[in-house]
Amino acid sequence: MDDVWLVDFYAPWCGYCKKLEPIWHEVGAELKSSGSPVRVGKMDATAYSGIASEYGVRGYPTIKLLKGDLAYNYKGQRTKDDIIEFANRVAGPAVRSLPSRQMFDHVLKRHDVLFVYVGGESPLKEKYIDVASELIVYTYFFSASEDVLPESVTLPELPAVVVFKDGSFFTYDQYEDGSLSSWVNRERFQGYLQIDGFTLYELGETGAADRHGNTSLLRQELTSRYLRVATEYRGHFNRDFQFGHMDGNDYINSLIMSEVQVPSVIVLNTSNEQYFLPQEPVNTLEQLVGFINSVLDGSAQAHGGDGIFQRMKRVAYDARSTVMSVFRSSPLLGCFLFGLPLGVISLMCYGMCTAESDDGADDMELMKRDAFTHNALLCPPHPQQLCGGFSPSC
């Protein structure tokens, strides 16, 4: 309990766990050589299922940093640098002090998004420490006195919580921004992002109750226009939208189970899996703002969702995608995996149909025999029958 442990909960049969293993050894070696207080280990969660259940392990691999009575779940990408950065961030204090202007400038250059508490002891600082303890898995938190900040930074009142990003700074207002945790969770992203599947997952983790978690997708041709909207209309859209761009359309096509052209503008609601597409081409800044406003006021047509029909469609789409990917990667394997069961089923169906036909023929033959016997019994006996002859009436 006195040590800080970074633990990989794994299963021996898990392919992702085996892929992580060499990276995990590199993480342990680098943390040890750098003198980090974080100790690195791994545990077979299938052999020690009780302990794994105690720490809430539900999938493999699960990476957790154990610090005293707290267990922090790692949700980032499984690369050496990202895991080490997470370990060093969470292992340290929840709130780090910036004692000088030089230190502030150094930290500001290293971080795209920087949260700073400015002021002395206060209830706001207690809230800030609590939020930092909860959200340190995502970002760093700092504290400083007012004279440490650049002269260009003027705050309306102290104490204050400030976020530095996108070449500017923004101050938390508890009356307009709601809870501090929601505000930090929303502001921990830059105003404009390069978006991939992992980023979309993180955006979905921010909490749909506090904001819609909407994300916009575009290509290089729309970048400057979108940057203007993200900056000039920040006050209007910041609570509900996160702007960014995604290269290509493969991921977005699989997400919405449809195909969008490139370049395109699309709004995704990560809370209910709905998406919105403009009815007309978006060629000007005014058209882009108008489309986003139509999503905001509910007049834009929504597609997708998380209803029962969409879930059934998702199951069918995933099954089809799996089959297609198998045939693309290995046609022979695909023919064996799917052709053999189909062949067996076809033979079974043929056998059942043939069996029914044979039974029908046997029934007809039996009926004919019964009819012949019945007619023979109706024919009266004739003396000539004793001699091997037959009665004309028969």
State the catalytic residues.
Answer: 14, 17
User: For the chain, how far is it from start to end, CA to CA, in angstroms?
Assistant: 107
CB 335 within 8 A of CB 343: no
- Residue 125 dihedral angles phi and psi, to the nearest 5°: -65, -40
Tokens of 240: 């509900």
Task: Round to whole Å and give the CA distance between 97 and 144.
Answer: 6
Task: Round to whole Å and give the CA distance between 256 and 311.
Answer: 12
- Give the DSSP letter string of 78-133: --HHHHHHHHHHHHS-SSEE--SHHHHHHHHHH-SSEEEEESSS-HHHHHHHHHHH
How far is CA 213 from each of CA 285, 321, 351, rounded to the nearest angstrom?
22, 27, 56
Write b or e for each residue in 284-315: b if 16 or more Cβ atoms lie within 10 A of its Cβ, otherwise e.
eeeebbebbebbbeeebeeebeeeeebeeeee
Q: What type of residue is 189?
A: F
